[in-house]
Structure 1
């Protein structure tokens, strides 16, 4: 899907002395708040965008941080933190594309155990560095006193950032996590609510998850963020005007989709700008990542947007 507007900002020489405009490759999922951007209703001034469809979108994350396959990409927060720690040349934009509460994102067989019973048990999660797992483990630690290190984490995938190291209590399996759960090899599994609903007998580990979500928002004032937009560092440094135009187009697309009173959590979490709310959310994610050894380096949410502020916001 292309949103085509002529530009002289990305003109590169071609044979015969004529000019060629290369579109910027973009990998973002189809959301209500990206629809206007992807269908060309709004477009960045002076840029041509080539939208590469990747489904599920997490399959774009490893190619982005390992190969810089896209100029602009959706990226999970935990992957972003590991990429920053590893010095990968990607830069975060303050555009939240996806997020949710995760009190319902860990499931077990009905009536089998409570959160405190997870100590010393095995729990399945697609990848240890999956952002949903990051938020689930943080919630278990903060709310129930069950640290990440108290559990053995069984995974089917490694980190998107190739150099990222996993802690000793992480193991890999070739089996399906639900099959391991059925066999009694796992006590619980981290997965989306829609997937869990398709497994008979599987219920949220936290029965009062709705009340817990409301309590979390009353206490903190934010919803966990899962995915942000990122750009290649060389694009930002060489063409800050293009990145600025892309950022503005993303914000316009969000505004067009925004309802006066968001009816769902996933709609309410979508936001843009370096706000106190976003910084508080990401500082918590960073704390969780360090506690869980997803990253080992100190960093702050504000530092994640330092290059955005330098090249885009202050220009």
Structure 2
């Protein structure tokens, strides 16, 4: 009996990985033990700090910082999580913050400083709205996935364990919070907290129309030693993730699967605005522009000391021109 290489993969419990998780798709020569129980922040820490998994979905911004420090990780251009971020700028409603420039000079909280959502938002605020990241006093709740020393001129305070940026925002200790998730005061409809962009979807549509960017949040990280020992696993994993996504998208076209009244309309709107495959993998022109923008923000904000080219950040997944499709 052929023995497969047993590897542990940690990732989110997404529809696009369901076929892998359920065994409908199996990477050639690999037996995956798939773990989906950890939240993103915990998974990224356990991979980048402790090297607990062979393969893991991890923060794109933290991975860029890890590569700049030559930590023992590589990545495949598999992007399991993307999200527009204009709707994740939350403000205290008593502070008269109604437009991006009102954030200049303010006290802003973040869950942690390096996380992709916050790097995207700092970059967007600076480059699209003229809000310099160094004009803000930052307060971070958690330590980072990758250790880093704040660059000169950055005002960053690490909060004690008994402080929460969400509560500090509601109580008025912070003027605003940038967060990767919808915060509890918004969920609970706390009148003390609102969004900087109440009509954030329209703002995100304008951003996409201008830039063509549907922001990449996460990459598929893999241990460097594993790639060096078994280089063949890279294209095999990539093909399996592509197949899993394709099967998932075919399944999700059935509006009966989702308990939303206007699901079909939402699906058609996404295709109209973002194209037929906004979740595409690989380093085609759109994804290259997308990720190079994030690398540029990292460099602009002093998190890395040079612009790292994409061929240093991502492993090659090509199996040769016009090759890679299975034929009998």
What TM-score, normalized to structure 1? 0.86
Matched with 2:323 is: none
Residues 92 and 194 in structure 2, CA contact (< 8 A), matched pair in contact too: yes
Q: Is the 8 A contact 2:68 2:304 kept in 1?
A: yes
Quick one: distance in 1 between partners of 2:277 and 2:13? 17
Partner of residue 82, structure 1 = 65
Q: In structure 2, how many angstroms separate the alpha carbons of the residues matched to 1:73 and 1:252? A: 18
Q: In the comparison of the two structures, how many residue pairs are matched?
A: 292
Q: How does 1:163-312 map to 2 (within 5 A)?
A: 164-167=148-151, 168-174=154-160, 175-192=163-180, 194-195=182-183, 197-199=186-188, 200-201=190-191, 202-259=193-250, 269-305=278-314, 308-309=315-316, 312=317
* 2:122 aligned with 1:137: yes
Counterpart selection for 2:132 from 147, 153, 176: 147
Judging by fraction of residues, say which structure has more strand. Answer: 1
Give yes or no for contact 2:20–2:244 (8 Å, CA) kept in 1. yes
Structure 2 residue matching 1:29: 3-state secondary structure: coil
| Equivalent residue, structure 2, for 1:99 | 82
- Residue by residue over 1:42-85, the C-alpha shift from the partner in whole angstroms, topping out at 9 and shown as x without a partner, is 01111111122342122111221223211110011111111101
CA distance in 2, matches of 1:193, 1:294: 23
The residue number in structure 1 matching 2:24 is 41
Which SS does the other structure have where 1:225 is aligned?
coil
Q: Which runs of 5+ in 1 are unaligned?
A: 1-5, 11-22
Unaligned runs of 5+ in 2: 254-266, 321-328
RMSD: 2.1
**Deviation for aligned residue 1:87:** 0.5
TM-score (norm 2): 0.83
The structural deviation recorded for 1:110 is 3.4
Aligned-partner Cα distance in 1 for 2:36–2:2: 23
